[in-house]
Amino acid sequence: MPTLVTGAFSLLNDALTWILYLIPAASGAAIGYHALMKQMGDGDPSVTAAHNRAIRNVLIAGAIGMSAASLVKVVLAYFK
């Protein structure tokens, strides 16, 4: 394999590894923030609903991001 292809392969693999570590950490921080803000909302139904929606969106986005990055890593592993 040419050096450029090998370097790009390594760069993509390393970047995806970082992404697979960062997504759960960022999602956990965002969920923690929204849970805290929901708790500090003093039971206001609109605040609670907004933060529940935000938590659901973070969970969905995290799952999509982890799935996409994992799928690309599986494809890269096949070509290695």
pLDDT tens for residues 4-61? 778 888 999 999 999 999 999 999 999 999 999 999 999 899 999 999 999 999 999 9
The answer to which of 35-39, 48-52, 67-71, 76-80 has the lowest mean pLDDT is 76-80
44: region left, alpha or beta (phi > 0 left; psi from -120 to 50 alpha): beta
User: Whole-angstrom Cα distance, residue 28 to residue 15?
Assistant: 20
The whole-number pLDDT of residue 75 equals 93
Using 50, 70 and 90 to split pLDDT, how confident is the model at 79?
confident
The residue assigned the tokens 């599986």 is 74
pTM: 0.86
The whole-number pLDDT of residue 4 equals 72
Nearest to 50 by CA among 58, 22, 9: 58
Contact 22, 75 (CB under 8 A): no
